[in-house]
Amino acid sequence: MDIETGNIRINRYVVVHDCGTVINPMIVEGQVTGAVNNGIEAATMSEFIYNEDGQLLNQTFADYLVASSCEAVPVQSYTMQYPTDRSIYGVKGIGEADVIGPLAAIPNAIEDALHNIGIKANINGLPITPEKIYKLLKTSGNCYV
């Protein structure tokens, strides 16, 4: 976390998942990497902003932030193969669950980093953007975002 700007950098993201029998490891790796990065995007940048009349203010990609490959985080994934008897080949779904992890892991990591510098924060809303982190860095004591 950059305490001057509120920007964060995720150096590594590790995930362990079970998709049953793996038929194509490259597809599994791509699904997991894409899902994790989609979750990170949702946790840190993508936000619908409305005015007091309910009008959406960020209607274009110029205003609504979406991650590109430049913001992609390296994902280290491990596959646990526990085949299911509910499908012919023992396969299960892959990728969907990996979107959810970052939605909790990222805010908790930010809270821990802030705690290490003496700021007790309770992040209960997403996304947690650099602007919101910057505001937390400039406060003292307990704060909620």
Alpha helices (H) in the chain, listed in sequence order: 25-44, 101-116, 130-137
C-alpha dist (Å) from residue 23 to 98, 111, 124: 19, 39, 39
Identify the bridge partners of residue 75 per DSSP, sorted by sequence position: 13
- pLDDT tens-digit map of 73-91: 999 999 999 999 999 999 9
Looking at residue 8, its pLDDT comes to 93
Looking at residue 52, its pLDDT comes to 97
What is the identity of the amino acid at 97? A
Looking at residue 66, its pLDDT comes to 86
Residue spans of the chain under pLDDT 50: none
For the chain, list the domains and their CATH numbers.
13-139 (3.30.365.10)
Q: How many CB atoms lie within 10 A of CB 78?
A: 10
- pLDDT tens-digit map of 35-58: 999 999 999 999 999 999 999 999
